[in-house]
Structure formats: C-alpha cells, structure tokens
Chains A and B, each alone.
Chain A
Amino acid sequence: MPPLFPVTLIWYAVATTLYLVHLVWGTSDSASGLPRTAQAALVCAFISHAIDIGWLCTHGLHPVVNAREALSFASWLMCGAYLAVSLRYHVPVVGALVVPVTMVLDVAARLTPSQEAPHASPLLGMVHIILAMGGVALFAVAAGGAVFYLVEEVQLKAHKSGLLFRRGAALETLDALNRRCITLGFPLFTLAMITGALWVLRLHSPRGLWTPEYVISTLAWLIYAALVLARLRAGWRGRRAALMTLAGFVTAMTVLVLYFVRGAVGA
C-alpha cells in the first residue's frame, strides 16, 4: 500500500463531495466558489496520487507492471485529463461525474490482488499501455461531457430547467470539450493500437491479432475514427457526436475490463 493512499483518498473524497454539492446546489458562476475549491482539492489529490505512483516505481512497481497498478495509473490519468481540460473549459458538472469515477477506480485498484503482466517486450508493452490509458482517460472525460450534454439537451428540448440549469455547463461548451478530448485522445489511441499490434506480434501468440481484446479495440478505434471524420467532414456536433462518443467509450471500456479481469485472475 503506497504511503499517501489515505491522503489521496481523502482529497478525492473532498473533491467529489464539492463537485456533487455544486451539481445539486451550485450557481452559474463556474469560475469561483465551490467549483474552484473542488478543483483545488482535486489538484491536491492528483499530486498526492502522483507521489504514490512515483514511490511505487521506486519499489519496482511501475504503472504497467500489473492490472492493479495499471488501473490506479488510469484513474490518475483520468484525473489529469480532467484537470487539463478544465484549464480551457469551465465545466465543473463534468467533474461531478469524472472525479467520483476516478476515486472508485483508485480504490478498486488498491483492493485488486497483484498479478504480474507478460514481459515479452516490457518497453513496447509499457508504451502501449501508457498510450492506451492516456487515450482512454481523455475519452472518459469526453464521455462524461457527452452524458451531461444528452441530459441537458433533453431538458432544454422539454423546457425543463432541471439540475443543470445555471450550473455553468453550456451545450456548446460541453460539445467543444468533447471535440477537444476526442481530438487529443484519438491520436494517442491510434498509437496505442499500433504499438499494441507490434507487442502482440512480438509475443508470437498463436492467435496473433485475433484476440477479443484487439478486435474490440479495433471496433472502438473505428467508432472514434468515424466520429473524428464526421466532425471534420460532415459538421457533426451535439447529440450525434455525444451518442457516438458514448458508443466508443463503452467499447473501449469493454477492452479495459477484459484486460483487467484477465490480469486480475492471472489468465
């Protein structure tokens, strides 16, 4: 157990609480007050989590050594991705979804039994996992924004002010956040697909690339590729983009769950 895990958990819990309080009782001023405090708590959690990851590395447990560390690393990247996009887009409501998920993933990682990952090509595998995690972290933030976009769109169409009214999450901002996250996440995910293919081929597995993980990953990549193309060429935005983002994210998460389950049970 890393030394700062309890501290990290407390900071995540504080940030989660503040984001949720803002979601339920907050005001339109997303740049001040509650959201700002929540963001400060999240920065503390991020730093504390980073120190933990660094401490584990010094003890030979680098982020891709097993499923547990990979999961913890993924939650840290997700937190970082959200903080990064928060610099440009003030969407604290998205934090109310992303930050609790981050916290749950980190706790789940600490509760997972340790298993060693394959070591046929450690460097390539490490690069692949880090790229994939980075891509998925950005897709997760995009998916959080997409969920709120769809909820808010339904409310606006139905003329209901609802929970999100005056919470500082404009439809266009959520869509812009989605576009930015996908635009940044897609190249990372593409590189992860390439490095993943190389890694699998070097392992000389009899099934080659015809593993469920790689097939589903390819499907996720195709969905995101179609989304990027549709945004660029056909001017897709709003509801369609949000739905496609969610479809891509569910597919990508399926791959992660498969890896995680396989890693956890030592398959």
Chain B
Amino acid sequence: MSHPRLCVVGLSHKTAPLTVREQVAFNDAELDALLKRLQESPGVGEVMLVSTCNRVELYAGVDGADAGETVRNVLRGARPGVDLEPHLYVLDGEAALRHLMRVASSLDSLVVGEPQILGQVKAAFARARQAGTVGPLLSRAVPRAFQVAKRVRSETDVAKNAASMASVAVDLAKQIFGDLGRRGGLVLGAGKMSELSARHLKSAGVNELYIVNRTPARAVELAARLGGVAAGMEELDRLLARVDIVLCSTGATEPLIRAERVERAMRARRGRWLFFIDIAVPRDVEPEVARLENVYLYDADALATVVAANRAGRSHEAAAAERLVDEEVMRLTSEARTQDVVPVIKALRQRFLTVAEAEVERAAGKLAGASDRAFVVQLVHSVVNKLLHQPLTALKREAAGESDELALAVCALFELELELELGSSSERPREPQPPAQPGPAAVLRSVKSGDNSGER
C-alpha cells in the first residue's frame, strides 16, 4: 500500500481562454455532485474543488499511479461537450503542493496579489469539509497554504501593490472618463465579487451607484451596505442610459446585455461614453457590444491583458513571495518525509522494548515484589529511550533531508517487517508512465527479500 499524495487537475486563465472557462464554470449543485463522484472514484481518497472565474481545479488526495488520470476523466466527463484536453494540466506531489500555495497566495492569479482568491480557496475548502471529502492530506496541506498566503500578504509588498480585477477596471474607467467623481455606476449582480467591485467604484469616487440583481432582496441588502440604490431588472434600460460604468458579475448562463439593448441606450445617451466591465464567467455582456461607437467592453481576459502589461513592476515583490512559498513547501515536504519514517521508528522502539521487557520477565523471579518489577520496567524503558534518542534523531534528520538510506539500513539491520513508502513524488507527466527506477519502497522490499528486480 502506497501513501496518498496530493494531485491537481485543472485549467486556469493561463491555459484556457475565457470562451472555454465560461463553459466549465460549475454551479453549487454541480460542485457537490462532482465532489461526491470524485470521492467514490477508485484511488481518490479526498477532494476539494476550486471553481472561480479564472480557474477550475480539483485538488485530490490520490493513491496509485492512475488516480490522477481518474480525476482528469471525471473532470472531462462533467463537461462532455467541451474539449478540455488541450487546456488541462496535471500536477502531482510536491508540484501540486507548490501550486496550491501559489494559488492561495494569489501568485498564480490573473492579477498577482489580488485578495479574492484566498477567500475563494477557503470557501472551496469549507464546502469540501461540509461534503465530507476532506481527509488527512488536505487537512494538513490546505491550512498550510492559508498560512503561507497570510505570510505573503504580511511580509511582502505583493498585496500592497495588488490591483484586483476591479481596481484595474477602475483605472481603465479613469482612462475613459478621467475624474470619476460625477459618474454613475451600475453593478449587475449582488454576489461577493459584485460587492468587492462596487466598493472599488465607490472608493474611486463614483457618486451614484445602482445595484441590480435578479433577487431584489439581495440588491437591497447590498445597496444598504454600500450606500447605493437598489433597482429591479426591469429598470436596466433606463439605467444604461443614465450611468457611465457598468460592472457585471452575475451567475447568469446567458448574456443579459445584448448589442441591441446597448444601441438603444447609446441613442438615449446621445453617444456619451459607456464602459462595461464584465468579470462574469459565463459572460453577461454580448461580445458584439464592443463594436459600438464610444462603447468599451472589457471581459476577464481583456482585463488580463492590461494586467499582464502592468505586471512587470511587481516582479520583485512576486519573487520574494515565491521564496516564502518555496520555504513552506520544503518545510511541509520535509515534515511529510519525517512522517514516512515514523513506522520505522515505532518498529525499532518496539523491537528494543520487546527485548528489554523479555529480559525483565526472565529476571522477574529474582525481584522482590511488584513494585521492584515496575521500577525495573520503567528503568529499561528509560535506558531504551536514551539509547535510541540519537539514532532516531539521525533517522528523522536523514528522512527530512530526502535520504532513505538510514531507514533502509535500520530495517535491514534489525529485520523490521514493514511495508513502507519512502521518498517523495514530483510533477507527473500527463500520461501515466511506469517508474523509470524502482521506488524506495521497492528497494526496501528487495533488501528484505534479497530480490533485486525492484518490481512492485
């Protein structure tokens, strides 16, 4: 039996265009169903699904060489009509752990340093826990990713310089309108992203803010929090003629704003500029809208191009943050390796104690009473612990340093009957391949059995 390892299968803004991502976005019901289906898949012990505008990623604790492929097939099966194959990536072991930490720290985000992603990963983790799909591997790795994300935010300037998607959009709005003080804004959708975006607009000086949502109660609630005005969907045409900036972030599966609607609004506006920021996936604004005169449309990918152009200035801070991630990955990996030799330590200690206790038993007749016997047992335990302290410390140190030799030597020397999986895995090729060299566990078994074939 091998140890479970972390595996990531997914696609993101780096590998898939918006047209693909908007077809893969999952709603809440689909997320729960997918989590359950994955957990029931062979070789998949635990799973978490992160689904945002810019990424859909499955983090799974897998066991066995083909488990990553299983996860991949389940993801492909969830969207049978979409060709996901060219856009999917699979990361395994340490590479998966590093990726998780980079994602949570917003180093893999469309806008490096943006704060939303940490909340989104936390929400994904909470959902997985609620669905009962979190096991010991994710329980250990994900909170560590949150810790490193906090360190990145507090110890580097990545977060200080971070321009979220919304703040980049505000910069673009200023490029069109200049001062936003006398501008009107319309926020379409009352979710978390809408609120964040609306706050950016407010802080940029937009003085008139309308919130439109399919569920009026949520619009009223958000408007009260932001000091805006809630409006119904039926008022959309009137508002399009009035406001200057429209921020869309609904969960609608079809575009809510089509070109004909904007054409009507532009006539009513007498050609005044209108700026659409559509961060919804799937998109809320029909792409044809961008062709209209004095209308500017930026969807998530369009914002990404602007962000990428401005990213160079933050490379220094990002490098510092990457170092923090590396440190944490090394620490966690080292801890995991130390965990790998725990059975060896336990077995060795048990072997010593068994021998010592057997000797005490043999000498039991010569001892005065039960209290003497208890004293001697305590004494031999103490002697065993002291004798083993240095060798076991060395064993842990060696294991943390990625070396299995000492553990193998101990097993061979003391003939410890163990089935162990030592060592670590790294980024895995897309197609499952046989290991190029026999794994340490195979080597261990070979030592025990005298077989040199290395086959599992």
Contacts and interface: CB of A to CB of B under 8 A. Distances in A.
Contacts of A152: 175
A193 B302 CA distance: 48
A28 B310 CA distance: 13
A262 interface: no
B178 A172 contact: yes
Contacts of B290: 157
Contact of B305 (A160, A170, A238): A160
Interface residues of B, number: 22
Contact of A160 (B174, B273, B296, B309): B309
Contacts, number: 55
Contact of A159 (B177, B271, B306): B306
Interface in B243-301: 270-273, 290, 293-294, 296, 298
B59 to A, nearest CB: 32
Nearest to B302: A159
B271 A171 contact: no
B309 to A, nearest CB: 4
Contact of A165 (B175, B177, B178, B271): B175
B176 A172 contact: yes
B348 interface: no
Contact of A173 (B178, B270, B310): B178
Contact of B298 (A159, A166, A172): A159
B306 A237 contact: no
Given A157-B296, A159-B305, A159-B306, A237 B175 contact: no
B342 interface: no
Contacts of A160: 305-306, 309
Interface in A121-170: 152, 156-157, 159-161, 164-166, 170
B172 interface: yes
Contact of A236 (B177, B271, B306): B271
A239 interface: yes
Nearest to A91: B178
B294 A170 contact: no
A172 B273 contact: yes
B30 interface: no
Contacts of A159: 298, 302, 305-306
A172 B175 CA distance: 9
Contacts of A157: 290, 296
B171 interface: yes
A235 interface: yes
A235 B271 contact: yes
A128 to B, nearest CB: 36
B19 to A, nearest CB: 15
B269 to A, nearest CB: 9
Given A28-B174, A160-B305, A166-B171, A235 B270 contact: yes
Q: Which 9 residue pairs spanning A and B have beta carbons closest together?
A: A170-B178, A235-B270, A159-B302, A161-B309, A173-B178, A161-B306, A238-B294, A159-B305, A171-B176
Given A161-B309, A165-B171, 8 more contacts: A28-B174, A152-B175, A156-B175, A166-B175, A171-B175, A171-B273, A173-B178, A237-B294
Interface of A: 28, 152, 156-157, 159-161, 164-166, 170-173, 235-240
29 contacts: A28-B171, A28-B174, A152-B175, A156-B172, A156-B175, A157-B290, A159-B305, A160-B305, A160-B306, A161-B306, A161-B310, A164-B175, A165-B171, A165-B175, A165-B309, A170-B174, A170-B175, A170-B178, A170-B179, A171-B175, A172-B176, A172-B178, A172-B273, A173-B178, A235-B270, A237-B272, A238-B293, A238-B294, A239-B294
Interface of B: 171-172, 174-179, 270-273, 290, 293-294, 296, 298, 302, 305-306, 309-310
